[in-house]
Amino acid sequence: MATHTARRTATAALAAGLMLGLAACGTGDSSAGGPIALPDTSSSTTSGSATSSTNGSTASPSGPSASTTAPGTVGPASPTTTAQPGATTGTSKPKPTTASPKPTPTKATPSQTKSPKPKPPTKPEHADLRSGDSGPRVLKLQQELSALGYWLGEPDGDFGHLTQQAVWALQKTAGISRDGRVGPATQRAIDKGVRPSTTLRGNGVDINLKRQILMIVRDGQVRYTLNTSTGGGYKYTQKDGDVVTARTPKGTFSVYYTVDGKDEGFLGDMWRPRYFNGGYAVHGSPSIPAHAASHGCARVSNAAMNMIWARNYMPKGSTVIVR
């Protein structure tokens, strides 16, 4: 019994020694590197030698204790390596790539070169020509009318008052609509070379009441044809109170009186009149419509009357035929 107890005591001491050595190795204490001294296991019932095991002796551990690690015991931890910023380890997942920022749109710098100013819109082309039009077509029209003797002054490419007067004179002569526009019918009359005829022999003025045209005749030939407006056939009151009809008397007359300027009368002003029968005269006016509208005189444009004076086409004593 005493021998059994002694063996258990020796075994416990041996285990305690081993644990002590392992503890010293785990802390890295250099003093634990030598042999571990076992406690004395002798007792009064044991002889002076160490307690025998099954083979009769107990071997003391030899060599450094740090070289022996008991199974299941965790050894000293390896030094921890701190990852440097930006370093990638073998086991770490790659960080997602940050998308590049979208480029900021740059506003276009306006060009320093000035753009040419847009041209004003041109007037739309008409199938016919009318007052207010201008350009090569109008110039061509004016030249054609002038060649036929329909006076309009100097061709300039602008369809103005005098061009309209000439168009009316042509339309009256051709017996077509007096609308003052140059459409297909008027253009055909121009292309045919329509001109009026006269009964006057020699020089003078021939006034055709039906056609409402005034012709300047030289050597029995019509040199110029003008739009005119004669007595309109309406009733009006004279200065003495008599009511009369606005009518231009027919016949053959002679110029007997002239006024070089504005002549102010009871029925209105007359520009540079040439009187041929009492108070009846050929004179200039700002209003010469395409129909008979006067009190009895033969109206022409102020520009036409200036031309008659400048070229002395109605001197005193010259013939005036009204028919």
Do 175 and 208 lie in a common domain?
no
Quote the distance between the C-alpha of residue 264 and its chain's center: 57
Do 211 and 249 lie in a common domain?
yes
- The tally of CA atoms less than 13 A away on the side-chain side of residue 286 is 3
Q: Which two tokens stand for residue 141?
A: 């029209």
Do 208 and 182 lie in a common domain?
no
Structural domain contains residue 122:
no
- Domain hosting residue 242, numbered range: 204-322
Structural domain contains residue 64:
no
User: How far apart are alpha carbons 62 and 307 in whole angstroms?
Assistant: 153
Give the per-residue pLDDT at 266: 85
Do 211 and 169 lie in a common domain?
no
Do 227 and 292 lie in a common domain?
yes
Give the per-residue pLDDT at 239: 87
Which distant-in-sequence residues (6+ apart) come within 8 Å of 73 by Cβ?
Answer: 22, 26
Structural domain contains residue 216:
yes
Please say if 291 is a catalytic residue: no
User: How far apart are alpha carbons 301 and 151 in whole angstroms?
Assistant: 11
Do 225 and 177 lie in a common domain?
no
Do 242 and 314 lie in a common domain?
yes
Structural domain contains residue 93:
no
Phi, psi (degrees; rounded to nearest 5) at 317? 90, -10
Q: Are 171 and 189 in contact (CB under 8 A)?
A: yes
Please say if 25 is a catalytic residue: no
Which of 263, 267, 264 is closest to 242 using CA atoms? 267
Do 162 and 210 lie in a common domain?
no
DSSP 49-106: SPPP-TTS--PPP-S-GGG---TT---PPPPPPPPPTT---SSSPPPPPPPPPPPPPP
Structural domain contains residue 19:
yes
CATH classification of the domain holding 229: 2.40.440.10
Q: pLDDT tens string for the chain (323 positions)?
A: 444 444 555 455 444 443 434 333 344 443 334 443 444 444 433 333 333 333 333 333 344 343 334 334 344 444 444 444 444 444 445 555 555 555 555 555 555 556 666 665 445 456 899 999 999 999 999 999 999 999 999 999 999 999 999 999 999 999 999 999 999 999 999 999 999 999 999 999 999 999 999 999 999 999 999 999 999 999 999 888 999 999 999 999 999 999 999 999 888 999 999 999 999 999 999 999 999 999 999 999 999 999 999 999 999 999 999 99
User: How far apart are alpha carbons 291 and 221 in whole angstroms?
Assistant: 25
Count of the separate structural domains present in the chain? 3
Give the per-residue pLDDT at 8: 55
Catalytic residue selected from 25, 126, 283, 291? 283
Do 210 and 300 lie in a common domain?
yes
Do 239 and 308 lie in a common domain?
yes
CATH classification of the domain holding 154: 1.10.101.10
DSSP 126-166: PSSB-TT-BSHHHHHHHHHHHHTTB--SS--SB--HHHHHH
Structural domain contains residue 306:
yes
Catalytic residue selected from 126, 291, 295, 297? 297
Do 179 and 211 lie in a common domain?
no
Do 300 and 209 lie in a common domain?
yes
Give the per-residue pLDDT at 49: 37
Structural domain contains residue 179:
yes
Give the per-residue pLDDT at 21: 40
Structural domain contains residue 100:
no
Give the per-residue pLDDT at 103: 55
pTM: 0.62
